[in-house]
Amino acid sequence: MQHKGTVKLETERLILRKHVLNDAPAMYKNWASEKEVTEFLSWEPYHSIEDVQKILSEWISQYANNDFYFWTIELKDSGELVGDISVITIDPDTFSVELGYGIGSRWWGKGIVAESGKALIRFFFEEVGVNRVYAKHATGNPNSGKAMQKMGMKYEGIIRQSGRCNQGIVDEVYYSILKNEYFDSKRGK
């Protein structure tokens, strides 16, 4: 893998970029304070903009590391921040990365997560040189699995009682896409 860090990426509708401290009010308002957003995540909703500023400060300090990948999702047409997407785990032995994301409920069902994920998949296969991109979700959150499928990932299976989120210990559903599958799809195979 040739780590590049959190570089700016663009899609038809989105700009994926590094967080800045001034993002705190929008992040708090648009997704980080929403109980619905964190229902199947491992962190609780934030209670203040100051709490969001603290976590943003931590992330911003990590942008100096070229193996830290954390993007905010910005709508091109309005400049509004609607969520974020990141790499949760990097496995250098298998050249794989795990994606995680959170998006405000007002933007659910609009294909934003899938569009963001496709951009990251392209980036990781074409520029970083990974072999596998994967993601997982709690079985109680099937819409997250639909987004993973729209990214081009394939269902792998369920690992029982393997994760913890705000629902407690949960079964997790895994999806992935491999480098050869990605490049085959680009060639129309």
What are the tens digits of pLDDT across the range 60-89?
999 999 999 999 999 999 999 999 999 999
Instruction: To the nearest 10°, report the CA torsion of 62, 135, 185, 2.
Output: 30
Paired with 10 in beta bridges are 15
**Residues 85/23, Cβ–Cβ less than 8 Å:** no
User: Is 21 inside a domain boundary?
Assistant: yes
What is the per-residue pLDDT across 86-103, written as a single tens digit (0 to 9) for each?
999 999 999 999 999 999
For residue 35, the model assigns a pLDDT of: 85
Structurally, the chain folds into a number of domains equal to: 1
For residue 92, the model assigns a pLDDT of: 96
Range of the domain at 79: 9-186
Report yes or no on whether pTM surpasses 0.75: yes
Whether residue 166 is predicted with pLDDT greater than 90 in this model: the reply is no
- Going by pLDDT thresholds of 50, 70 and 90, the confidence category of residue 163 is confident
The domain spanning residue 126 has which CATH number? 3.40.630.30
User: Is 1 inside a domain boundary?
Assistant: no
